[in-house]
Structure 1
Amino acid sequence: MGAGASAVQLAVALTAYFIVETVTEDDYGVPPSAFGFLCLLVAAPLIVPVAGLLFAIALPVPVHKVAAWAVRRAGGPSPRRTLLLPAAFTAFAAAFAALWAVPLALLGAGYLTAWAWLTAGTVPPLLAMARYRRAEAARETPYTRLGIWFHAFGATVLLVPATVGALALATMGGVIEEYEPPQLTAGRLAGEWEGPDEALIQLDADGGAALIDAPMGPEGEGCQGVGDWSIDEEEYGYRDAVRVTGCGDEQFWLIAGTDSRPELSVLVGDPDVGDVRIFLPRTP
């Protein structure tokens, strides 16, 4: 049961993560790829069960065995042991997660963050496993593996749409704040903006512009030139952009980032799979 419960939890978590990231993060004017989403839908039924199985082997299954053994060793009447089990699950989940968080921290994740997420992700499958153990004892026959995965599939079919609906309501209610690009004045945009490979855009206060190895055109060739710039308010899609000339055709740079960390971005290449180049204000 641990693998099935872990798979359900993973499906719900991935759905929530995808929606929250889509709503709260800047897409730089590039919507999610329809082809990529289709591939995800096709691959998810294969990947999620395997990932759930691996996670169950790593944490919920051994934690359940150790916690159940510890509660039995503590003795006492059965109702008391039943009440102790959730606390034992949480304690041993935290202990096992502390060990598994070490390799994740070595890979770059924050140790405390990894530990907290692993602990939180281990407890629900443990509770589901305990619930199934009690149900098996009541019916006096164990569930088959096919039956367990059938229940997991049914739970996924119910919980994933429920997650989508709940997050949609949270977004409409303002609990989850949608990303809004900063509204920058010409005074804040004026200055030097640095990009990849030492590319530079200089926006002068008088409307002049100078470009050094700036990506221009559909292929993003590096360009050097002198021209002018201006703000196009919500004329490029749904958000403000900076219109820059100096290398042939004019180029539109989206005003992106946040008010405290503004960015200028431009899409190079195909609109679905192109490369987004990001420029930041040059620091002295």
Structure 2
Amino acid sequence: METLTAETPRSLWSDRTVVISTAFAAVQTALCCLVWMVGATISQDSYGDTGIGIGMLVGTVVFLPVAGALVLAGALVEAFLFAVPLVWLGQRLTRRWGASTLLWVLAVPAAAAFVLAGLLAAGGAPFRPAWALSTGWAVLPAVAAHWHTTHGLSGSGTASRVGAALAAAITPLMLLVATADASGLLAGPYHAPELGARGYVGTWSEGGIRLHLEEGGRAVLTEVPYDDMAVPKSCTGRGSWQLRPAETDGRESVELDVPACDGISSWPWDVGGTTARPELFMTLGDPDTGELHILHKG
């Protein structure tokens, strides 16, 4: 029986190698998902929902085990289909063209990701996050598999050891930064646009709801919803509108006054979206469980 020494290469396709690669893939995926959730939460419009309802709590409790299972399954697929085959390819390229396997493990996904990011950018996706995400996702699990099969690069030169350590440290950081960039976390918390009175002039609509605001304060409403003494109603008619400046919630609002629709003035439309693509929204009923209406301009 052959004795395994520190110089004997371990099998690339051994269970332990796949498990190690899967573990690294799962950890980096979980961290990226967490960064994405935080970024998407603080950088997107909450539409006035500042609390955590019972529905969100129940959904979180149910979702976490499912998410964990999906992350683990995805990491296992990544290890089998990308990370370990990438090391195998790197070993073959080393035998054919020289250089170190680690260099190929870093270069091949970077080059492939560059092409993929270019294709995505042609379709409108941002190139930088696409390239960084595509590269970083495959590198760390592959470096972990390579490290394990070579016994921590035992017998390798200082350059190989330093290169592997830098790859193991930099690629997760690059992946997390790219995720933060793509999710909007780097842009900071969301702030509602300030349009000023002239910015609201025009037609806002959603489905059959139509709100036409004119200069001078005139308003024409078609099936605009509101509550009258807790009874849902809709308003079609002519009246007036005025801009309510941003207050503690940092949002401007449009207040309507239509004589034929008693009580509609109690249901202002708050501004949301962005300066380039503004929205007017209003929630009927409870802020957590009520019916949200979002009108788009144009």
Tell me the TM-score normalized by structure 2.
0.66
CA distance in 2, matches of 1:254, 1:121: 40
SS at match of 2:27: helix
- Residue 147 of structure 2 contacts residue 153 of structure 2 at CA under 8 Å; is this kept in 1? no
- Partner residue of 2:81? 58
- Structure-to-structure mapping, 1:240-255, within 5 angstroms: 240-246=252-258, 247-249=261-263, 250-255=266-271
CA distance in 2, matches of 1:201, 1:99: 46
Distance 1:110 1:281, change over 3 A: closer
Is structure 2 residue 288 aligned with structure 1 residue 272?
Answer: yes
- Residue 208 of structure 1 contacts residue 228 of structure 1 at CA under 8 Å; is this kept in 2? yes
Is structure 2 residue 143 aligned with structure 1 residue 120?
Answer: no
- Partner residue of 1:224? 236
The gaps in structure 1 that reach 5 residues or longer are 76-80, 139-158
**Rg larger in structure:** 2
- Residue 216 of structure 1 contacts residue 223 of structure 1 at CA under 8 Å; is this kept in 2? yes
Distance 1:222 1:124, change over 3 A: farther
Larger mean Cα displacement after TM superposition, 35-44 or 45-54 = 35-44
Distance 1:274 1:93, change over 3 A: farther
For 2:89, the aligned partner's letter is V
Give aligned-pair identity as a percent: 27
Tell me the TM-score normalized by structure 1.
0.68
For 2:210, the aligned partner's letter is L
Superposition RMSD in Å: 3.8
- Partner residue of 2:213? 203
Cα distance, 1:7 vs structure 2: 0.7
1:11-55, Cα deviation, whole Å (9 max, x unpaired)? 111111111112222222224753233434343332221121122
1:141-191, Cα deviation, whole Å (9 max, x unpaired)? xxxxxxxxxxxxxxxxxx9xxx8xxx8xxx9xx964222111121222122
Distance 1:206 1:74, change over 3 A: closer
- 4+ residue runs over 6 A deviation: 98-101
> How many equivalent pairs are there?
241
For 1:214, the aligned partner's letter is V
Distance 1:74 1:181, change over 3 A: same
SS at match of 1:132: helix
Distance 1:2 1:215, change over 3 A: farther
CA distance in 2, matches of 1:215, 1:59: 52
- Partner residue of 1:68? 91
CA distance in 2, matches of 1:111, 1:54: 26
- Partner residue of 2:68? 45
Cα distance, 1:209 vs structure 2: 2.1
